[in-house]
Amino acid sequence: MSECRKENLAHFAVTIISKDRPGIVADVTEVLFRLGCNIEDSSCTMLGGDFAMILVVSHEKPFAKALLADEFKGLHERTGLAAYVRTLAEDEICPVKGEGELCLISVYGSDRPGIVYRVTRALADRGVNITDLNTRLIGTKEEPVYVLMLEAALPEGITVEDAEGLLEKLKKELNVEIGVRAITPVAL
């Protein structure tokens, strides 16, 4: 997706969630292929015992969202997977490119309510834009450990050290470890 030269294309966000089994991706992409849709961007993963797919797809205009929705309705009736289709506005098609430093923030500690909320609220209040986020519950039943990993684009004027300072007091409050490191790409 290096440029946004897609004036004649209609774009849709497709969200799929299904009890995990072999063949979900094949079923979904078969529908897209048959309709002549292109997968512009996608992220799919197992979540618990489900498999979740998020895709941005495009099709030459004119193309009705109902065509997608009808196909996925059929798939839902046959396999039980749940699908949701949304039309994307022009300004939702291209990725927002951050101006500032990119950083990786890792948070882990004994499980407790509010870890994700408190960390992301502190970041949001300073205009830090999260670009990727994953969480997992690890450890044992007796000692559950919560792990959060996120990548974020810092706004102009906020350094990695600033971001670290911003989260410093949460370490004590939530009793978690928080690490921040720069991952700004190198050009070769």
Partner 1 sequence: MPAQKILVYPHLLLKTLCRPVGGIDGEIAGLIGDLIDTMREGPGSVGVAAPQIGVTLRVCVVDVSASRQGKENNHGLLVMVNPEIAAREGAAVMREGCMSIPDYTGDVERATGITVRFLDGDGMPREVRASGFEAVAIQHEMDHLDGVLFLDRIASLKTGLFRRKNYR
Piece of the chain touching partner 1 by CB under 8 A; list 29-37, 77-85, 117-125, 177-185 = 177-185
**Which one of residues 153, 158, 166, 180 is an interface residue with partner 1 (CB under 8 A)?**
153
Q: Residue 111 or 151: which CB sits closer to partner 1?
A: 151
The 12-51 site mask, x for binding partner 1 (CB under 8 A), equals -------------------------------x--------
- Of residues 92-111, those binding partner 1 (CB under 8 A): 95, 97-99, 102
Residue 89 lies near partner 1 (rule: CB under 8 A): no
Gap between the Cα atoms of 146 and 5, Å rounded: 42
Task: Locate 145 and state its tokens.
Answer: 């450990």
Say if residues 16 and 29 touch (Cβ distance below 8 Å): no
Q: Residue with structure tokens 């960390």?
A: 119
Smallest CA-to-CA distance from 99 within 59, 136, 131, 145 is with 131
Does 159 sit near partner 1 (CB under 8 A)? no
Among 1, 25, 47, 138, binds partner 1 (CB under 8 A): 1
φ/ψ (deg, to 5) at 21: -170, 160
Q: Is residue 54 a contact point for partner 1 (CB under 8 A)?
A: no
How many CB atoms within 10 Å of residue 117? 9
Q: Is 133 exposed, middle or buried (0-12, 13-18, 19+ CB in 10 A)?
A: middle
Q: Which residues bind partner 1 (CB under 8 A)?
A: 1-2, 43, 95, 97-99, 102, 131-132, 151, 153, 183-188
